[in-house]
A = this chain, B = another copy of it.
């Protein structure tokens, strides 16, 4: 089983390293046969090859069983003609990764959450974000005195990601909340009617709709009302970041980006955090959670569950990086997780 590892920029390499070490140990112990290759991606690829997604990297990803990504971006590439983030958008598109799954769970009674603990405790939400359409991929025009961005969606684009959300809801609490701005946007009207149609195939799943502005409020005031949140690309970007903080830190969360059976891409939802890069203080929990989601997806027995458990046990035991008010180092945290791997 071939894993293409793209450490990327900023804290990407150091958090990815911890995740890969966890996977190596698990693979050896359980004979999973994981094989890793590393490839340039993002800003570092711009520096080495003049492009954030070199051909060689893309081919390695397409040929792999899964892709493990760190993070990309940093101010030093702000003036480049192509920015590191463009590589991220391109790899998502090239691999056809239309469904981005971002689970958020408030652990330990929400003690790290900025929300009152009675508000946050027990929240358990899966954001399903459409990842290869919308305003991210429409035409962008920039002239000196004006600019425009086009947001488009087709019915098929909405349908396929809606199926992912409804299937996920079946395995959870059976509720999908679809988020849009249907009182203003045509694409949102298409989303609403398409998702309503798809819902007919899942009579066991409850569906409701919410405007994105109302959803941003509800996420903070009553997060427990949500199970699966299904939304388009830009709203999903904003809402999943927002949701991450109710869990206490964006550093805790992993994500899976999936398409139609090709390799999935697994990455923490945090950014490259250049200001703390190389200091060995970044939280590798999001990268490790992403690695566990990768094992889940690869269907390698209970490897994923074991890694999720070790990660949670480490946090519960009080081992925490500075973003959670602790003094664990990145590598120290990784060690603690590996010590807890069965």
Contacts and interface: CB of A to CB of B under 8 A. Distances in A.
Nearest to A153: B147
Interface string A299-326: 0000000000000000000000000000
A41 to B, nearest CB: 16
Given A221-B245, A238-B238, A149 B187 contact: yes
29 contacts: A83-B183, A85-B183, A85-B184, A89-B184, A114-B116, A114-B119, A135-B184, A135-B185, A141-B186, A142-B189, A147-B152, A147-B153, A148-B151, A148-B152, A148-B186, A149-B150, A149-B151, A149-B185, A150-B151, A213-B240, A213-B242, A214-B241, A214-B271, A216-B216, A216-B241, A216-B242, A220-B242, A220-B246, A238-B238
B221 A147 contact: no
A250 interface: yes
Interface in A108-124: 113-116, 119
A171 interface: no
A181 interface: yes
A229 to B, nearest CB: 14
A342 to B, nearest CB: 34
Interface string A236-267: 01111110111000100000000000000000
- Chain B CB within 10 Å, residue with most, of A115, A147, A185: A147
A286 to B, nearest CB: 14
A154 B185 CA distance: 20
Given A135-B185, A213-B238, A216-B216, 4 more contacts: A85-B183, A141-B186, A147-B153, A151-B151
Contacts of A145: 154-156
Interface residues of A, number: 55
B149 A155 contact: no
A226 to B, nearest CB: 14
Contacts of A155: 144-146
A216 B238 contact: yes
Give the oligomeric copy count. Answer: 2
A136 interface: yes
A112 to B, nearest CB: 11
A107 B185 CA distance: 35
Contact of A217 (B115, B184, B242): B242
A97 to B, nearest CB: 16
A240 to B, nearest CB: 8
Interface of A: 73, 83, 85, 89, 113-116, 119, 135-136, 138, 140-142, 144-156, 181, 183-187, 189-190, 212-214, 216-217, 220-221, 234, 237-242, 244-246, 250, 271
A187 B153 contact: no
B221 A136 contact: no
Given A151-B149, A153-B146, A140 B245 contact: no
A85 B213 CA distance: 14
Contacts of A238: 212-213, 216, 238
A265 to B, nearest CB: 18
A102 to B, nearest CB: 12
B241 A213 contact: yes
Contacts of A217: 241-242, 244-245, 250
